[in-house]
Structure 1
Amino acid sequence: MASSGKDGRIDYIEFNVTDIARARSFYGNTFGWSFTDYGADYCEFSDGNLKGGFANAGDVKPGGGPLVIFFADDLADTLKRVEKAGGKIVKPIFNFPGGRRFHFTDLEGYELAVWSDR
């Protein structure tokens, strides 16, 4: 498999929000971001350099915090490496429009994700 040049890099950030329209308004008016809607529960944003998303994915944790998403050329291999290093898989590989991903917690308990378009 040819390398994408993005393997292992932070590629996307998701904010879990209670109100996508309110988040769009705040970040659009404050920072001039552009948006693409993917249904009622998801909106992608672009700051002109990095893309991310607003997800209505359940309860927002006190203190908030975005979901940092890494890219992987080989998703299954990356999952194995996460587990071998002591990470805990909290959402196994699943499909979504545009690719597949999984979520894990690192040794400090931070939830992170890895995605691939392959």
Structure 2
Amino acid sequence: MDRVTHFHIPAENMRRAKIFYREMFGWEFMETGMDQDYTMATTVKTDEEQMPLEPGAINGALFLRRRPEESPSVVLSVEDIQGYVERVEKAGGQIVSPVAQVEDFGLFAEIRDTEGNLLGLWQDLTESD
């Protein structure tokens, strides 16, 4: 079974959003250096690789809203992202953004389900990829 591993929350004002989530829920934020419009959000303690220490816990990110219709989304980890993307339309969904590599970390694509919800798909890169 594939699992939710990450979330994305759009923000019109990153500073304001970080203050809100820090004050409301105690979240911490870390700049990735990859994109200043994208900030990692830590909701639970992590190890040295920034992975949650609590079983089943997830962390996420804030990103600068580029379009008014952008909304929060969840990201699911899958073993074969290309296989999932190939099945999206057959299952009644649509591909929003094709598979793209994110530095040396993994592969990412966005899809919409049959209800119009945005979902991210993520595949970790291995040494053989």
Q: Which bin holds the TM-score, normalised by the shorter protein?
A: 0.7 to 0.9
Q: TM-score, normalised by structure 2?
A: 0.77
Where does residue 8 of structure 1 map in the other structure? 2
Q: Is the 8 A contact 1:16 1:60 kept in 2?
A: no
Paired residues in the alignment total 110
Q: TM-score, normalised by structure 1?
A: 0.83
Q: Does 1:46 align with 2:42?
A: yes
Query: Which residue of the other structure, out of 82, 86, 102, is the alignment partner of 1:80?
Result: 86
Measured at CA, do residues 78 and 66 of structure 1 come closer, stay the same or move farther in structure 2, by a change above 3 Å?
same
- The one-letter code sitting in structure 2 at the alignment partner of 1:70 is L
Give the deviation of 1:57 after TM superposition.
Answer: 4.2
Query: Which residue of the other structure, out of 66, 86, 96, is the alignment partner of 1:90?
Result: 96
What 5-or-longer segments of structure 2 have no aligned partner? 45-56
State the percentage of identical aligned residues: 29
- The CA RMSD over aligned residues, in Å, is 1.6
Alignment of 1:27-42 (within 5 A): 27-38=21-32, 39-42=35-38
What 5-or-longer segments of structure 1 have no aligned partner? 1-6
CA–CA distance in structure 2, aligned partners of residues 78 and 29 of structure 1? 38
